[in-house]
Amino acid sequence: MKKTDLTVCMIIKNEERFLKDCLESIRDVAGQIVVVDTGSTDGSMDIARAFNAEIHHFEWCDDFSAARNASIRYARGEWILWLDADERLKPESVQLLRDSLRREKQAVIYQIQINNHTLDDAGAYISTAYRLFNNNKGIRFTGRIHEQVVFSGGRGERRKSAITLEHLGYALDAETDTAKKARNQKLLERMADENPDNAYAHFTLGQHYNLVGRHTDALRHLLKALNLDQFEKEMKASLYNVLSETYSKCGLPEEARRMAMESVDLEENQVGGYFMLFQLARGGKEWDAALNWLRKVREKNRLIRSAGWHIATDVVFEEEKLNYTEAEVLARAGRNDEAFLLLAEMINGGNTSPELWRKTLDAALAAERWQDAEKLAGSLFQKDTTNFYMLDTLGKIYIKQQRFPEATQVFEALCAQAPHNRDYRDMLGRLQAFTRAVH
């Protein structure tokens, strides 16, 4: 279909930080861009105009669905894609999006993947949302916040798509994040009060309470969502994972483990449930179990990265982070040689990260692999000859190998560079005294 067959609909307020990159990502596929402004005071409207967006205004009423429904009334394209300003269509998804714009007799809604960037250990966590649907088929938004698209009369087809968005909104500065959470909490609490028998309302409020540290309140609403029993398999597995995390934060590891097992029993092709089981085993210092669960995480992580999601929300990790974590657990289990070999394999594969080299050096020292440690410390010092700590480490490696003349030379150099360092002077004195005693 033609570019003109797609309308991109957005609601925004003071999004000049994100808007340009968002619009840049869809400009080659969108025939119409509709921007509904709810009260911007920054340069957002100038950015929107630069992309020939149609600008409309909406008086904010604490209801995202009302604003979304207002935005799609202006859509002329046969298909509608709705976005937030802090999202970007991945370049490789442009053609996937074009291929989805086929004429349909029935109402169709496409579920797409969203990679939510975070500031924690995960590279991103995956969520899914119904974002693409055909116009003039009675499809509308519902929900005061975390709005969803629904069919008029409940009739239509939901499809899964490999289209992917990158979402930056969970990697915000502290001030912006605090303000956003305060706004969301007010709307989520109101939505749950207005819809006491809606499992999704309780689920999203429970997730929010976890984010702000109110874990007991989170547990109450998440259990309410579970007891209402309204979710299909992929959402229920995600609910079990959130319950597992919540029980863990409430100091109830056995309940947390039970919820994670419920999740992976329901859907084995996921990362989140196995990661919770890994964390619980690591927290209990069950190192062998932790390693087994972590290797399951690695297996499923590769599957999700290549084939896409299987539950409503999931996590994905960079392979490098999983290697670091496995090496850490191996070291805690006293398997230092295995930890070294795992990290050394990354170096042999061409990884030049200074962090990796330092971690590998630490593993070599713990494993008493003195020749390997010498090579690593020497290489790191050559890269930064002002790094006295690395030179000190090299000297101590020489001592472990009983190469005392070389160790003496190292500490003589250190004392020359840092004459007031008492540790260096003491070590040099002991080496010199040993040399005199031997001779």
Convert the pLDDT of each residue in 141-159 to its tens digit: 999 999 999 998 778 999 9
C-alpha torsion sign, points 161, 162, 167, 170: positive
CB-count exposure of residue 351 (10 Å: 0-12, 13-18, 19+): middle
Beta strands 79-83 and 6-12 are: parallel
How does residue 2 score in pLDDT terms, banded at 50, 70 and 90?
A: low
Please state the three-class secondary structure of 300-351 as a single string. HHHHHHHHCCCCCEEEECCHHHHHHHHHHHHHHCCCHHHHHHHHHHHHHCCC
HSE-CB for 406 with a 13 A CA cutoff:
14
The answer on pLDDT for 119 being more than 70 is no
pLDDT for res 90:
96
Mean of pLDDT values over 303-314: 90
- pTM, two decimal places: 0.85
| Domain annotation for the chain: domains and CATH numbers | 1-171 (3.90.550.10), 322-438 (1.25.40.10)
The neighbouring-strand residues paired with 165 are: 89, 114
Mean of pLDDT values over 334-340: 96
- What CA–CA distance (Å, rounded) separates 196 from 309? 30
pLDDT for res 150:
94
Mean of pLDDT values over 320-335: 94
Convert the pLDDT of each residue in 163-213 to its tens digit: 999 998 765 677 777 888 899 999 999 999 999 999 999 999 999 999 999
pLDDT for res 361:
95
pLDDT for res 307:
87
Mean of pLDDT values over 257-269: 98
The answer on pLDDT for 118 being more than 80 is no
- What CA–CA distance (Å, rounded) separates 144 from 241? 25
HSE-CB for 38 with a 13 A CA cutoff:
16
374 vs 169: which has the higher pLDDT: 374
Mean of pLDDT values over 39-67: 97
